[in-house]
């Protein structure tokens, strides 16, 4: 499954054309792979072990753009 390989790449810093997890305009993270499907979230959980992204939204490119216009990053400490 191509979305699994995108998640395994981790956070990438290319703007276009590369599959992986990307920070979008400091409002959300999205997981992008070959097709137009996207997993995305604006909620980040963290503790001393690191950072957890729970991709709780699913949609296409247009839905991601709409989502980021109304959301900002939220951080939750889960110690």
Q: Is the Cβ–Cβ distance between 45 and 56 less than 8 Å?
A: no
Give me the pLDDT at residue 6, please: 75
Q: Report the chain (79 residues): mean pLDDT per 10 consecutive residues.
A: 73 77 90 86 94 92 94 93
Please give the model's pTM, rounded to 2 decimal places.
0.82
Does residue 30 come out as left (phi exceeding 0), alpha (psi in the -120 to 50 range) or beta? beta
Which helix (H) or strand (E) segment is 41 a member of? strand 38-41
Give me the domain span that covers residue 61.
2-77
Domain count, the chain: 1
């Amino acid at each position: 499954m191509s979305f699994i390989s995108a998640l395994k790449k981790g956070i990438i810093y290319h703007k276009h054309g590369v599959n992986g997890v990307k920070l979008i305009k400091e409002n959300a993270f999205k997981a992008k792979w070959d097709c137009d499907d996207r997993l995305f979230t604006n909620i980040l959980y963290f503790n001393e072990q690191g950072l957890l992204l729970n991709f709780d939204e699913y949609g296409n490119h247009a839905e991601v753009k709409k989502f980021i216009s109304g959301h900002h990053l939220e951080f939750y400490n889960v110690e």
